[in-house]
A and B are shown apart, each in its own frame.
Chain A
């Protein structure tokens, strides 16, 4: 019997193609929007994940925690030293340690000047910060050992100081001291945590100590970026570093830490959460159009019942039982929303992949919009079909036959 009812429902649907199509359109747009919004949300999440996790999840930043007010003027503002960094490098599970001594200064080239952040470090810093060289070379061991005045500059520094000429190999000044550009970093745009790469001037740590820092003999550094090996657990490595540094700084059991370990994983988790919330929000907005689409089905089915009153009368006179009439209308509604869902799904997936292609981004394809849209199709079909179907069932055949 179900097969026969389905057959009748299909014939009724194909009998009025335009109307069926227009009704289906509502569901098509709804499902398509949901699928696309979910895909967009997931893409954003993935991009965030790629950008941060690649550089961040195995990265720790250790900063000095000594309060400004607690120090006498002659003491350095920072409690961690280059020696700490060198010692930490030998600790079990640590991959790379990049000590950083930073300062802010005006870079000058003739009449042009630009505010830059000076980053005194080692070539290892590149490994922790995911920075890439555009041209020239990176600082090398010799630069580090000797404290040369070779520097690698950010993109913005290059364009501001040398707008009309090739910056590579040129010399500019910071606090009247000349520096030679040996490398230029790739443009990265606004920075995500850590230094703004584009406005950085990267030079050997020793050079910063000797030329800009008053506390050179104390070997103090601002912070260090630590990258630990893949297999280590974040919490365990944090505990290990804490124990190690407390021992090195000879802190008593009651003394607070004089440094602070920032992990990017937490930050990444937060960003990921924002991405998830964004995805849900987008999907919620898109579902509104799905709701509108299903109201369209209710409307169409109600009109259809009125329009087909006579047909219902004929069918009843010829012996259609009540549940037959009811199921026929219900199946019609379900079929329409199912077909709409399938088309919407295909269209949504297709368009989001096309969007990904145009913007050169990988758009993930996940299964749950498929499951979702079919669930929605059946629910929408049943919900929007029940009332009109019930109305059709309740029609009196005598009245219905008289209907013109």
Chain B
């Protein structure tokens, strides 16, 4: 079963004064389990809008979106919140950790929104995830006490804490130096290979995109390229 199945998704914005802007013009995409996909595209291409729809933060104007076999395109705000909580692990460019909370509390944050675990279980699970990203000994530190690369690893731990269908990473290395970028991307690769986690990575840097196997390039609201990363890179040379 596919993790993501997007059929003919369009997104249209209506400007003040009646102007219409078609940002996505009938996009089709299928992502299978354990795939590692990079989504690239120049700014203004509709890449961000596409990512918001993928992340269930926004709804398509038309078309269908199945996530883990569930149709999410017609859901209410709270239903979408539930889907985001259970099925998607977000990793953002700016890490987006809560500054006044410990790393453990940060990682446990998605767990408090679904009532399956007790507080102790939540914290135990969060610590387990911190261990996975190699930050167990910083469990009681605050985000501003650790480096950017570490913060991003905390964010990855947070994304994984609810056993999501996929990780959606939006420019995860944008705020990091190249060496740390490398580390983070290698970690993503490792997660994908060893644990079979589906990863969708949105970036504008070809170097980062190369860590994936498959590349989807969006230009002007359409998918312009969908295929192997290496093939695309070679074409560009």
| Cβ of B61 to closest chain A Cβ, rounded Å | 15
Complex-state Cα separation, A397 to B80, whole angstroms: 12
Of the residues A4, A8, A11, A318, contact of B115 by C-beta under 8 Å: A4
Within 8 A of B (CB), among A363-404: 397-398, 401
A321 interface neighbour in B82, B86, B96, B109, Cβ under 8 Å: B82
Cα of A11 to Cα of B142 in the assembled complex, Å: 13
- Per-residue CB contact flags for chain B residues 147-162 toward chain A (1 = under 8 Å, else 0) read 0000000000010000
Scan residues 278-323 of chain A and give those whose CB is less than 8 A from a CB of chain B.
310-311, 313-323
Binds A, one of B1-9, B98-106, B184-192, B206-214: B98-106
Q: Contact: B55 with A318, CB < 8 Å? A: no
B85 interface contact, C-beta 8 A? yes
Could you say which residues of chain A place their CB within 8 Å of the CB of B109?
314-315, 318
Residues on B with beta carbons closer than 8 Å to the beta carbon of A310 = 96
Q: Which of B85-130 contact A (CB under 8 A)?
A: 85-86, 90, 92, 96-98, 100-101, 105, 109-110, 112-115, 119
Q: Contacts A16-B100, A314-B98, A320-B113 given: A11-B84 contact, CB under 8 Å?
A: no
| Residues A314 and B101 in contact, CB atoms below 8 Å apart | no
- Select one of A1, A4, A318, A323 contacting B84, CB under 8 A: A318
A324 and B113 within 8 A (CB): yes
Q: State whether the Cβ of B77 lies closer than 8 Å to any Cβ in chain A.
A: yes
Known: A7-B119, A322-B77. Is A317-B101 also a contact (CB below 8 A)? Answer: no
Contact yes or no, B85 A11, CB < 8 A: no
Q: From A1, A8, A15, A321, give the contact of B81 (CB < 8 A).
A: A321
Q: Which of B82, B101, B112 contacts A4 (CB 8 A)?
A: B112
Shortest beta-carbon distance from A13 to chain B in Å: 10
Q: Name B110's contact: one of A1, A12, A16, A319 (CB within 8 Å).
A: A319
CB-based nearest B residue for A8: B112
| Residue B78 CB within 8 A of the other chain | yes
Does B112 lie within 8 Å of A398, measured CB to CB? Answer: no
Tell me the A1-53 residues at the B interface (CB within 8 Å): 1, 4, 7-8, 11-12, 15-16
- Nearest Cβ on chain B to A341's Cβ, whole angstroms: 25
| Residue ID in chain A nearest B155 by CB atoms | A314
B96 — which chain A residues lie within 8 A by C-beta? 310, 313-314, 317, 401
Residue of A at shortest CB range from B100? A15
Cβ–Cβ contact A398 & B58, under 8 A: yes
Task: Tell me the complex Cα distance, A379–B110, Å.
Answer: 31
- B112: chain A residues at CB < 8 Å are 4, 7-8
Known: A318-B113, A319-B84, A322-B78. A398 touches B52 (CB 8 A): yes
Assembled-state Cα–Cα distance A12/B109 (Å): 13
Q: Nearest residue in A to B52 (C-beta to C-beta)?
A: A398
For chain A, what secondary structure do more than half of its interface residues adopt (helix, strand, loop), or is it mixed?
Answer: helix
Question: Does B146 touch A at the CB level, under 8 Å?
Answer: no
Selected contact of A397 from candidates B57, B86, B98, CB within 8 Å: B57
Instruction: Tell me the complex Cα distance, A313–B113, Å.
Output: 14
**Tally of contact residues, A, Cβ under 8 A:** 25
Pick the most buried of B77, B81, B105, B158: most chain A CB atoms within 10 A of its CB: B81
| Interface positions of B from 31 to 60, Cβ below 8 Å from A | 52, 55, 57-58
A120 to B52, CA, bound (A): 101
Chain B residues with Cβ under 8 A from A322's Cβ?
77-78, 81
- Across the interface, A317 reaches (CB within 8 A) one of B57, B77, B97, B114, namely B57
* Smallest CB gap from B159: residue in A: A318
Q: Which residue of B lies closest to A317 (CB)?
A: B90
Q: Which residue of the partner chain B has the closest CB to A16?
A: B100
Cross-interface CB contact of B78 among A8, A15, A321, A401, cutoff 8 Å: A321
- A321/B101 contact (C-beta < 8 A), A7-B119, A398-B57, A401-B96 known: no
Complex alpha-carbon distance, A8 and B114, angstroms:
14
| Known contacts A311-B98, A318-B110, A321-B113; A401/B81 CB under 8 A | no
For residue B101, which residues in chain A have a CB less than 8 angstroms away from its CB?
A: 11, 15
Which chain A residues border B58 with CB–CB below 8 Å?
398
Contacts of A318 in B (CB 8 A): 84-85, 90, 109-110, 113, 158
Compute how far the CA of A242 lies from the CA of B224 in the bound complex, rounded to whole angstroms.
Answer: 113
Complex alpha-carbon distance, A16 and B114, angstroms:
26
Chain A residue, CB-CB nearest to B79: A321
CB distance from B115 to the nearest CB of A (A): 6
Contact A320 B100 (CB under 8 A): no
The residue of chain B having its C-beta at the shortest distance from the C-beta of A311 within the complex is: B98
Residues of chain B in range 5-38 having any CB-CB distance to chain A below 8 Å: none
CA distance A227 to B84 in the complex (A): 84
In whole angstroms, how far apart are the Cα atoms of A11 and B119 in the complex? Answer: 14
A318 to B158, CA, bound (A): 9
B158 contacts across to A, CB distance below 8 A: 318
Closest B residue to A319 by CB, please name it.
Answer: B85
For the complex with contacts A11-B105, A16-B100, A398-B52, 14 further pairs of A-B residues with Cβ separation under 8 Å are A1-B115, A8-B112, A15-B100, A313-B96, A318-B158, A319-B81, A319-B83, A319-B85, A319-B110, A319-B114, A320-B81, A320-B85, A397-B57, A398-B58
State the 4 A-B residue pairs at the shortest beta-carbon distance, nearest first: A319-B85, A15-B100, A319-B113, A321-B78
| Chain B residues within 8 Å of A, Cβ to Cβ | 52, 55, 57-58, 77-78, 81-86, 90, 92, 96-98, 100-101, 105, 109-110, 112-115, 119, 158
Interface pairs (11), CB distance under 8 Å = A15-B101, A313-B96, A314-B109, A316-B81, A317-B55, A317-B96, A321-B82, A323-B78, A398-B52, A398-B58, A401-B57
